[in-house]
A and B are shown apart, each in its own frame.
Chain A
Amino acid sequence: MSIVLDHITKRFGDHVALDEVSLEVPDGELFVLLGGSGSGKSTALRIIAGLTRPDEGRILLQGVWVDPLPPQKRGVGFVFQNYSLFQHMTVGKNIEFGMRIHRVPAAERIRRREDLLNLIGLEGMAGSLPSRLSGGQQQRVAVARALAYQPSVLLMDEPFGALDVRIRSQLRKSLKEIQHKLKVTTILVTHDQEEAFELADRIGILDRGHLVEMGPPSVLYRRPKTELVARFLGDANLLMGEIRDGKLQVGEAVLSLPADAPQVTGSLEVKVLIRPEDLEVRPRGATVDGKGLGMGTVVETLHAGPVLRMRVGVPSLRGTPILSPEPVFGQAEPALLAHALPETGEQPALVPGAVVQLSVRNFHVIPHEGVSLLVCIDGSELSRQVLEFGARLATQMHGRIEILGVAEKPNEEKHAREGLAAAAGAYSADFPNLKTRFRVGAASDRILEELEQGGQGLVVLGYRGRHVSAHSMGSTAEKLLARSRVPLLIVSETRRAVKRILICMAAGVAGRFDVIFAGRLAARAGAEATLLHVMEGAQEEVPAAVPDSQTAEYLRQLTTDRLARGILTLKLMGVRSEMKVRHGDPAAEILDEARSGDYDVIAMGAPGRLRRKDDERRALIDAVLDQARRPVLIVPAPRRDDL
């Protein structure tokens, strides 16, 4: 093994950049650490090089534990994203720098320099200054410089990040060749999937400091062990299915299981990954060789060079939870993504509206752990009830809970700790592997830290009314909504179970994400939903082209249209739902409906931060929170780049 990382942990203040990362890279391998920004990938590289000290864990390089060694003594080559070529030295001097330091004799130095320049295709450029070179040439010089003193391992931090897209693929090829020729063990860090797939012998996927999974690119892509990796790499159709009697049931279709699927007696709920290229789309009447999903309709097509991307409606999946792709609000049928070869004929058959036959060539089964609810408690009677409710809801949804005990002030610590210990004892039987944690400090900050570790789908919080907290909407809730995208279930009074959910589409633009999230929750909990729209007269923006006499009709149409699309979305998820329209003050009407319909949860979209109507929405949520006397679900809008 050239490189071994043994339980490396690194914290920056409260932020955990790397959490017990262990990793082994054999001789000559090109290993790619793939992760988004803030995943800790650069930190890992710097720790290997000795530029950053880990808090815990050990590193072995070529059989030597290097932890006490400074970067100078570790024998690693490092290529920085900005290359960091010494601008006052010529290309040749740059390459020779490491060899001079290592006292390599002049003749040998020059020979190696010329060899390397040949290798990177910059013969005769030894005398040039780096500033005269193009970005791609500079990058290659940086690679040559890092290799010149023959380090035992090569570390590269986003080496293609600063380059033009067009020359990247060319440079990747040349890097792969060089690495192959010199057989130097390499770890490369990138956020670019394409780069990782093209270069890597193996890929490790880092997410918020956790090494989630590693393996050869094709295995990670075809047979990921986790939902996160399935979604992270490429496009994915991810749906819920059930293994029963050795067969997989997805919607109405029954598919025979691949050899690597879990063997179960009885039934097991699982996630099913179908890559878009594995969903075969054939014109009606053609013979189908895969496993049938029945008939479908092409909803939308996109010609993307060598592939034809499609969104295909699949009626046989009605009622099947689809985790990916995100449904388009108001779509009538469950839809999946499919890739096909572009058609060459005069009259293409795969056009929007075309009726097609669908079959699955390959699929992969991922174990299903269920949604995880993070319940925050502080030792009070209310938080005991909140936990009880959270646990009931988790059971109802076949999910898990994690309990976070928080003491906002040091003098509350003892009490809160006792509360957490009691809770852990009470629920460990219902939830094996129950995760509990205790933290001191502002609840919102501590919860955000937990969310950074990832995995929770919903935060459950107690709420004692506006008079207790300094700001409106519950200061903790407001801070959480401003900084995270995880929905909040705010509980002032609990309910026995979640059977009926009231989804409010009042006040401002109808949230699509809140309908979708509340729908998912309802689907998992087996609850029914009511879509409520409260009309408040001239609150909607009416286009100038609509004459006054028709304003009322226009608004009615708009509302009905929206509600109808919402109902379609819910139906798609298999949620029984109805719609209601009320007239008057939104807060009063919502509260009245909640009481008279005896709903268990009121769901609302969170206010954004910039829009004009958001203050109204905030005031509305405040009013509902204070008087609802039942849990309120607040769903923040997804971030733009999540869409």
Chain B
Amino acid sequence: MNESHSPIEASRKTLAHRLTIGILWAVLTPLLILPIVAIFVFAGRGGWVSFVDTLLLPDAQFALRLSLWIALWTSLANAIVGTFTAYVLSKHRFVGRGPLSILVNLPVAIPTVVMGTSLILLWGPIGLLGRYLEPLGFRPIFEPFGVFLAHLLVTFPYMLGAVKPVLDELEITYEEAAYTMGAGRFRTFLHVILPSLKGGLFSGTLLTFAHSLGEFGATAMVSGNLRMKTQTAPLFIFARFEAGQIEIANAVAAVLAVLSFTIFIFLLRFTARPAREGP
């Protein structure tokens, strides 16, 4: 890359340039940087010992573990359902395809609390489906499974958004080449399409995982915030903060932040790779 002609280079030493950079720092410091730093500052306030003690609290540990499990299962489930949805939407033409394409992306646009409410109204004990399932012993709301359902719904568009563009770009001739060589649909998917989705699947999974880890609104609605049962890490943080136990809240928050940060670094490195290749 040759950027020696760019105006950026030329303006480096001018006053206007310095002023611009200064303003950027001035704006972003209180908005972005200080809040992130604050998490770690408050988390470590009581010293290392109290930080570790907090993390040894059974309900803190439970909340973190539940969050990680839910995030893992959500990512796996979404990888399968999302890829399937993306494949069908991208490669098949059917009645209702247009509206469906919009519908599957809606969870991103609708507030998560609202999504949570609607889940309760659907699966809850007196909900549309829930009232028939309750007698059968299937009661997802206020159960970890309900949290999983909520996360699946809320993070669905992320997987789709990572996988579908790759499929859309993949020319049909790759599949057709496999067909003419005798490969059926399944084998073609396995050997030709899936390998080309590697990148999309990976970033989609990481995105889903990160979002699931931090999910609050929908979780708060469907989980009932039951300690040691359905309380995820974000709910735990909120509960302890409300109770005035700011150090405890911040210790868990710091762990969450580090986790998210790590995932994010992975994502950045991965997506920063040179342009996508064919299958």
Residues on A lying within 8 angstroms of B by beta carbon are 49-51, 70-74, 76-78, 80, 82, 84-89, 97-98, 101-102, 131, 145-146, 149
Contacts and interface: CB of A to CB of B under 8 A. Distances in A.
11 contacts: A50-B179, A51-B176, A74-B180, A76-B180, A86-B192, A86-B195, A86-B278, A86-B279, A87-B196, A98-B181, A101-B181
Contacts of A78: 176-177, 180
Contact of A84 (B171, B182, B191, B195): B171
A213 to B, nearest CB: 29
Given A80-B176, A80-B177, A98-B182, 6 more contacts: A71-B179, A72-B183, A78-B177, A97-B191, A146-B180, A146-B181
A77 B174 contact: no
B2 interface: no
Contacts of A72: 179-180, 182-184
Contacts of A71: 176, 179-180
A561 to B, nearest CB: 51
Interface in B154-191: 171, 173-174, 176-184, 187, 191
Contact of B182 (A82, A85, A86, A149): A149
A257 B158 CA distance: 77
B173 A88 contact: no
Interface string B183-219: 1100100011001101000000000000000000000
Given A80-B176, A80-B177, A84-B174, A101 B182 contact: yes
B277 interface: yes
Given A86-B279, A87-B278, A131-B277, A149 B181 contact: yes
A102 B178 CA distance: 12
A82 B196 contact: no
Nearest to B195: A88
A466 to B, nearest CB: 41
Contacts of B279: 86-88
Nearest to A75: B182
B278 to A, nearest CB: 4
A443 to B, nearest CB: 32
Contacts of A87: 196, 277-279
Contacts of A85: 278
Nearest to B179: A71
B187 A82 contact: no
Nearest to A77: B180
Nearest to A142: B177
Nearest to B171: A82
A278 B182 CA distance: 51
A86 B277 CA distance: 10
Which of B177, B184, B195 is the most central at the interface, judged by chain A CB atoms within 10 Å of its CB?
B177
A78 to B, nearest CB: 4
A70 B183 contact: no
Contacts of B180: 49-51, 71-72, 74, 76-78, 146
Contacts of B278: 85-87
A342 to B, nearest CB: 45
Contacts of B195: 86, 88-89
A155 to B, nearest CB: 8
B176 to A, nearest CB: 5
A70 B188 CA distance: 14
A71 B181 CA distance: 8
Contacts of B179: 50-51, 70-72
Contacts of A49: 176, 180
A229 B231 CA distance: 79
B181 A97 contact: yes
A101 B183 contact: yes
A84 B177 contact: yes
Query: Which 9 residue pairs of A and B lie closest in terms of their CB atoms, listed nearest first?
Result: A98-B181, A87-B278, A88-B195, A78-B180, A84-B177, A101-B182, A71-B179, A84-B173, A80-B173
